Amino acid sequence: MGAKANIIIDQGADFATSITVADVDGNIVDLSGYTARGQIRKHYTSSTKTDFIITFGIPRTEGVVNLTLSNANTASMEAGRYVFDSELISGAGVVSRMVEGIATVTPEVTR
C-alpha cells in the first residue's frame, strides 16, 4: 500500500510536488530502471482523467519522484474534490502504489 497524502491544486496554476520513496524500513529506494504513472479523477470510476507529468530526481538513487501539472491542465479541471494516485513500475514489470489520496482543486478568480 502506498502512502496517503492529500494535495491542494490551484486551478489555472502550475502544480508540482515531490515524493521521496522509501521502503518499510525507511531506506531510500534506488529508482534506477523504474517508470511511473499517475492520474487524477473526479471519482474512482470516472472515465475522465488528468495524467500527472512524472519525472525522477537526478540521481535516481536518491529516490525522488516529481509529479507536476501544467497551468493548462489545472485550468481545465473544475474546482472541487478529486481522487488521485501514482504508481511505480519496476524494470521487471512489478507495479506498486507510491501515493494515493484526495486532491482538492481550488477555484481560480484571475483569468
pLDDT in tens, 38-79: 999 999 999 999 999 999 999 999 999 999 999 999 999 999
- Domains of the chain, by residue range, sit at 3-106
Q: Give the model's pLDDT for residue 31.
A: 96
Across the chain, mean pLDDT equals 95
Closest CA to 56 of 29, 74, 83: 29
What is the CATH T-level fold of the domain 3-106, as seen in this structure? Immunoglobulin-like (2.60.40)
pLDDT category at 1 given cuts 50, 70, 90 is: low
Burial of residue 69 (number of CB atoms within 10 Å: 0-12, 13-18, 19+): buried
Cis peptide before 107 (omega within 30 of 0): no
The pTM for the full model equals: 0.91
Q: Give the model's pLDDT for residue 111.
A: 80
Mean pLDDT of 14-18: 97
Classify residue 12 by its DSSP letter. T
